Amino acid sequence: MNILIVDDHPLTCQGLAALLGATQTDAKVQSAYSAEQARLVLQRLPAPDWIFLDINLPDDPQHLLFKSLSESRWIDHTVLISAEPEHRLIRTALAAGARGFIPKTADPELVLNGFARILAGEFYLPPELAPLLQKSSGESVTRALSPRLQQIQELLLRGTANKVIARELGLSDHTVKEYVSSVLTFHGVANRLELVLRLGQSGGM
């Protein structure tokens, strides 16, 4: 497993690399201390299987690296890290397809548990941050969703089953399951019924 950590603080990179390396025996971890370095690494082989990305990089104030990842296959293998989580940014990341968010202030157990859940196919967000995801209106959320996830959301609101969604969009059942999970997590709800109720109450339907 190849892991790329993108963070401008060497100590953060070293600490996270040591933690992941000690628990993932097959992991090969490398670090990039800027968005520019990260772009160079992503152009080389072997490509990373997972990217831990600090969204607040000094050489990337407009978050262009994150935006470029969001428009590529890399976003499905990206985990956000930050010392100052902003719920709007987290929502945008999850909507784009990022696999989760782990605060830099998290203790090692939370980091490892979060990554383990991500490796198991889940989308991870610390429980204490979940309320932040529930504050925005459904309308603003829909505008932030990626086009693909807007498609999934519209089909969910119509009551379309996962297998039917997979057939209509030409996706695998596993991919649809992940997309559905991303939409539900993005809205801070546990199931389709809660999604319908939330968007219905906020005018999102």
Per-residue pLDDT tens digits for 88-133:
677 777 777 788 889 888 889 989 988 988 887 777 888 777 666 5
Report whether pLDDT(8) > 50: yes
In contact, 57 and 35? CB cutoff 8 Å: yes
Question: Residue 124: beta bridge partners?
Answer: 100
All domains in the chain, ordered by first residue: 2-130 (3.40.50.2300), 136-202 (1.10.10.10)
17-26: pLDDT as tens digits: 999 988 888 8
Q: What is the pLDDT of residues 30-80, one digit of tens each?
A: 999 999 999 999 998 888 999 999 988 999 988 899 888 988 888 889 999
Residue 195 contacts residue 157 (beta carbons within 8 Å) = yes
Q: What is the pLDDT of residue 25?
A: 81
Provide, rounded to the nearest whole percent, the portion of the chain with pLDDT above 90: 32
Q: Is residue 139 very low, low, confident or very high in pLDDT (cuts 50, 70, 90)?
A: very low
Structure-model confidence comparison of residues 178 and 57, the more confident one? 57
